[in-house]
Amino acid sequence: MGGRLVRLLFVALFLFSFSNAFSEPCRLNLVSPKKSLLQIPVMAGLRVVGNDLIVQFDVHTPTVNAKEELGPNEYPYMFDAVEVFVTASETNFPYYEFELSPYNQQFQVEILDLKKPFKENADLGMKSSVTKTEEGWQGEIHIPLPAGTDITKLRGNLYAILGEKPNRSYWSAFLPPQLKPNFHQPQFFQSFQKCEVQP
């Protein structure tokens, strides 16, 4: 009972902190596998300040699967990471991927076409910060938007990858459940204005 009360207070505080947000904060839902040991591990919220889209993640996990230094050919998504995919195009292309690890490691990708190689390690101007908490970590991603961007047309998805095998789990704001997780499915992108807290 005490844990549930703390969780409700956390959600209330998170909602309050985003009272002036571009969209309401949302929880990420389990995509794969069918069950996870984690319960509502990630909340996310978005807002626009000046020409920056700011995405904040609050991650609650008992352990963190991450490396302070990534080795050659290692990327944040191989360990615990949060991600945002974003586009302002009605066709969903191009879209952009921004990843963040618990150690503030970044990975940026430009996707012009799913049938062509992705432009990895692109410099898309991402800035980020990470804060450790008693229950996990919080990450903030700043994404510069082109001047004149209509923020009501911003679309995309929010994701998290958490844990080690065999308890690795995949989370998303808008993806349906999957047998094999695949975040690169722009057909499921939605307006970030639809990112609401779910019951």
Quick: pLDDT tens for 71-93.
999 999 999 999 999 999 999 99
Helices and strands: H and E segment counts in the chain? 1, 13
pLDDT of residue 139 exceeding 70: yes
Q: Tell me if residue 10 falls in helix, strand or coil.
A: helix
120 found inside a domain: yes
Amino acid found at 125: G
In degrees and rounded to multiples of 5, residue 35 shows phi and psi of -130, 155
Residues forming a β-bridge with 169: 162
- In this prediction, residue 138 has a pLDDT band, given cuts at 50, 70 and 90, of very high
186 found inside a domain: yes
**CATH number reported for the structural domain that contains residue 69 in this entry:** 2.60.40.1190
In degrees and rounded to multiples of 5, residue 3 shows phi and psi of -65, -40
Round to whole Å and give the CA distance between 155 and 89: 8
Domain that holds residue 137: 2-194
- In this prediction, residue 4 has a pLDDT band, given cuts at 50, 70 and 90, of low
199 found inside a domain: no
Total count of domains within the chain: 1
